[in-house]
Amino acid sequence: MKRVRFAPSPTGSLHVGNALSAVANRAFGDWMLLRIDDTDPERNVPGGEDAILADLAWLGVEWDEGPVRQSERSARYTEAGRELGDRFDGITLLREDGSATYHLASVVDDVDFGITHVIRGNDHRPNEQLHRRLTQALGATPPEFIHHGLILGEDGRKLSKRTPGATVASLREQGIPAAAVRRYLEELGLPKHDVHYDLPRIRRLAIEAIAEMPDAELAEAAEAPVGLVPVLRGARDLNEARELARQVLEPEPVQLPAEARPTLERFKELREGASNGLDHDAARELVRELKAVGGDLKTLRLALTGRDRGPELAALLEALPKDEALRRADAAL
């Protein structure tokens, strides 16, 4: 059985590189510990742990034990530190205040929780030898170490957490569905070398994820009634979906000039004559017929939404109940 751990420091929403570690550990391990590495008070951010838990829940990454906080295991580290001495290989294990450093706490935990595989970013490769020796000094067998490439910015440097899209929270705020982020990270797998962050790829995956979402899930994610799904399907991300929904649910009031009348009268006739609910083909057929009799589609859009841009017209007709579409056409005249 492969026992792995994901061990973020509670510095707030996960950097995509950390999210990669989480997803890779989950994919690799049979059993996963979630450990919160909070031994360095300078790196602890208030609410940092909650943000990480929220990110993992959003990504759908589950763990088997934890969260275990290192701050709650200090007695154990002190005991191990006494066994090994304050320093080991020239490295400090216990600080002057008696608290454990990352190296000691991490190795003690990996031993105590029976971790068989340590999967983490390349930036920890320099720690591997020290961690092996510390493990052996504690009388245990070192785990296997797998260091994966980091996710770098366009400039080839570590992606700053402030870059848009660099944290899980910022992807969520940009309306990227969780499935798209998860798929991107799964595609990366365990990169041997550092990789450049590919936000355009995530955006393409977002379009696919939206196409694959069941109606009810899409409606919920866009905070819209399920009847609006035809409109939502045209969105490239969930923010856009919310905006399209808003455009339909909250039309701008309009007064159209007299030239609009023939188009709207024809539309009303066609809509009256069609069934209550329109499926996509019927809605497209109606748009085609309106155009064929000289109707101006821009005018219809304006009448129905008060805007000259927005959702695809056929999708709009599919989503608007018949009486509401007729009411809006009347009100615009």
The residue from 13, 25, 99, 106 that contacts ligand GLU (CB under 6 A) is 106
Closest distance to ligand GLU from the beta carbon of 106 (Å): 5
Place of tokens 């696919």: 208
- Contact between 65 and 34 under an 8 Å Cβ cutoff? The reply is yes
Question: How near is the Cβ of 11 to ligand GLU at its closest, in Å?
Answer: 8
> Measured from the CB of residue 111, what is the shortest distance to ligand GLU in angstroms?
13
Cα R_g (the chain), whole angstroms: 28
9 interacts with ligand GLU by CB under 6 A: yes
Question: Contact region for ligand GLU (CB under 6 A) — 6-14, 86-94, 236-244, 281-289?
Answer: 6-14
Does 26 contact ligand GLU by CB under 6 A?
Answer: no
| 133 Cβ neighbours under 8 A, 6+ residues apart | 88, 89
Contact criterion met (CB below 8 Å) for 193 and 28: no
* Torsion (CA) 272, 273, 278, 282 in degrees, nearest 10: -140
DSSP bridge pairs for 145: 118
User: According to the binding rule CB under 6 A, does residue 13 interact with ligand GLU?
Assistant: no
Asked if 8 touches ligand GLU (CB under 6 A), the answer is: yes
69 lies in the binding site for ligand GLU (CB under 6 A): no
Toward ligand GLU, which CB reaches closer, 122 or 239?
122
Which of 3, 4, 7, 56 is the binder for ligand GLU (CB under 6 A)?
A: 7
Query: To 10 degrees, the CA torsion angle through 168, 173, 179, 181?
Result: -40
Residue 124 in contact with ligand GLU, rule: CB under 6 A: yes
Nearer to ligand GLU, 124 or 132 (CB): 124
Q: Is 305 in the site for ligand GLU (CB under 6 A)?
A: no
> Contact between 37 and ligand GLU (CB under 6 A)?
yes
At position 166, the amino acid (one-letter code) is A
Residue 95: CB atoms within 10 Å: 14
Distance CA 108, CA 331 (A): 72
Residues that bind ligand GLU (CB under 6 A): 7-9, 37, 106, 120, 124
